[in-house]
Structure 1
């Protein structure tokens, strides 16, 4: 299983970074995971700003040579792992800017003129690991599950990725947040993952 980890947090002392280390540790001990690549969007200095003008048209984003390596990473991966915090009820602007540019028409999906497009990333699976300061059920109760709906329905299902697993960890800045237990959970999940 070829695995691409898309890590989105500016601080390598963060809990998100600790989750990244546990994903890598578990994956390295799992014979089903044959190869792992990490895309650290902040370290990469990925430019999340979307630009359309006379030279750059939205309909041509799937051909943008500056984004080719990122499209190749997605094509290569069988499993895509997103690690990110929830800020203001959504993933960071850096990740959303990456999604805007990479999951483009004629690469990730194809418009067929109907209500829904044809997803072009069928057969892949995804895992979303998110952390937040508020309690775990805050997005569900207060935000109508917006962060999960955004990632699952508006993005991943839309482009054909149907198998999506979520780990949403709340109260992560609390001394009673059971951070070690949650880190162990991620390590064990990736150590035993078989598809």
Structure 2
């Protein structure tokens, strides 16, 4: 069976580097025999704001004055098949996919607001998290388990500024909310991100090498080892979700506590 990939792109300029990378990913994966769908959020004029319109039946169980409770109402709408059509369509793309690729520029140490809004609206309770789906932080049984996930990000700063002693902090740490807090939390298998640095001053002769590097990452989408995050149910955490003493390699601190010191014992395979 052909592998299926969803590319989610977030840049307002269709002539931008990000748009070019998104198009390259779609074309390269398609040429390799993959099935590909593209969600170009700006071209779609995606609404990034969660509100009661997302849940058409909101208020029907308690009158129009019923207070919006996003987790409760999104779960009810999800399980009843009563989400706004644009949300339901994006969820169906994720269900269809074997892998998800996010393409975006780093803005203020995060993704553009339109992409964050896509996450807020699409990753509803009952679909990506919540008591009605399997426990989080496990890519063998999580809500969206069986899907690989790759971040492709452009950054204006040089690579050294996002290093262990760089002033911006390690890129691994900056992207932790997406890698661990979104992908891993929902059961997806995160890969090491693909990054193009120093794009504010990127000369034309760096473009072809960047595409070659990206092609290699796309070719290895289903074979590269995943980020070795610890599973919540693997015996490393106590009832309060705190890492048990002695599980880490001596001297390990910060976010590195939540990755295995050796290759992860889980497979990270994709369906």
What residue is the counterpart of 1:3 in the other structure? 5
Question: Which residue among 164, 171, 175 is the counterpart of 1:148?
Answer: 175
| Corresponding residue number in structure 2 for 1:84 | 104
CA contact (8 A) 2:136 2:143 kept: no
SS in 2 for 1:38: strand
Q: Deviations over 1:20-58 (max 9, x none)?
A: 122122112213x2x110001111111101225847531
1:21 aligns to what?
A: 23
Structure 2 CA distance for partners of 1:173 and 1:80, relative to 1, 3 Å: same
Q: Does structure 1 residue 108 correspond to structure 2 residue 136?
A: no
Is residue 161 of structure 2 the alignment partner of residue 138 of structure 1? yes
SS where residue 130 of structure 1 aligns?
strand
Distance change (3 Å), C-alpha of 1:193 and 1:97: closer
Aligned to 1:57: 69
Residues 39-78 of structure 1 correspond to what in structure 2 (within 5 A)?
39-51=39-51, 54=66, 56-58=68-70, 59-62=72-75, 63=77, 64-66=83-85, 67-78=87-98
What SS does structure 2 have at the residue aligned with 1:109? coil
- In structure 2, runs of 5+ residues without a counterpart are 53-64, 78-82, 224-271
In structure 2, the partner of 1:36 is: 36
* Native 8 Å contact 2:5 2:98 kept in 1: yes
Q: Distance in 2 between matches of 1:75 and 1:110?
A: 17
8 Å contact from structure 2 (residues 128, 186) kept in 1: yes
What is the distance in 2 between the residues matched to 1:90 and 1:42? 17
User: For 2:88 and 2:19, how far apart are their aligned partners in 1?
Assistant: 26
Distance between the aligned counterparts of 1:92 and 1:165, measured in 2? Answer: 20
Stretches of structure 1 that go unaligned for 5 or more consecutive residues are none
Relative to 1, partners in 2 of residues 1:138 and 1:36: Cα closer, same or farther, differing over 3 Å? same
Is the 8 Å Cα contact of residues 22 and 103 (structure 2) preserved in structure 1? yes
The alpha carbon displacement at 1:174 in A equals 1.3
- Report the alpha carbon displacement of residue 191 of structure 1 after superposing the two structures with TM: 4.5
Which of these two proteins has the greater Rg computed from alpha carbons?
2
- Structure 1 window deviating more from structure 2 (181-190 vs 128-137): it is 181-190
CA-atom RMSD in angstroms: 2.5
TM-score, normalized by length of structure 2? 0.63
Shift of 1:193: 4.6
Kindly indicate whether the alpha-carbon contact (under 8 Å) linking 2:155 and 2:197 is maintained by their aligned counterparts in 1: yes
Aligned counterpart, 1:126: 149
Q: Which has the higher contact order (CA 8 A, sep 6+)?
A: 1
Give the structure with the larger strand fraction. 1
Shift of 1:117: 6.8
Partner of 1:182: 210
* Structure 1 residues 8 and 77: CA distance shift in structure 2, 3 A: same
